[in-house]
Structure 1
Amino acid sequence: MPDTSKSSIITDPSAPPEWIKPHPGEMLREEYLAPLTMSASELARQLGVPANRVTAILNGDRSVSADTAWRLARFWNTSPDYWMNLQKTHDLSKAWIENGSQIERDVTPRNQENEAA
């Protein structure tokens, strides 16, 4: 069901995205590491993970796992849900942009009104 925000713009959280949302690695790089001039290696050391894990996330080649989300949350004083939601939003938008038209062709919405009781 659509919600109306304070700005009176109607939004529907289930509406298909119009573009691929940023990968969490982009957010991590631009909003967290860059202002501190922190390297991937330093973050990896602080998180207790291999440097290639952080580098792959920063490059958008690896998803943020639940374990990494907990580590990022603890280090940056955020929540693991924050990191997982960034990943989920990216993944869902990418899947729709890449496969949405095929999904619409392949899947017919269930119509409960036409089903026998």
Structure 2
Amino acid sequence: PLQRAYVARFGNNPQQEKDANIAAEIETAKAQVIVSELVLRSATELFNALGASGVSVNKALDRHWRNARTAASHNPLIYKARIVGDWRINGTEPPFVWQIGSGTGKA
């Protein structure tokens, strides 16, 4: 879907571009929910397996959990899951939040 959205951007078919962007947005939202949950669960399992030695300053393994948590918190998973569910159940187009802050080019 991402490649299709990229290619559609340079086409001359606004509907095809819109459809490709929706597909890319939904697929990336699904991936973020799934991967974030797996990474956080894996990091937790790592610390459960290693016990107190897992938080050793020398190993600095806790940085992986913090990085995963930061990435997961950047776009809260509950919103991504809602977007996917709303699309699947109601056909509601996802918000293109990556457009927030885009100016019109007028000062």
TM-score normalised to structure 2 length: 0.28
TM-score normalised to structure 1 length: 0.27
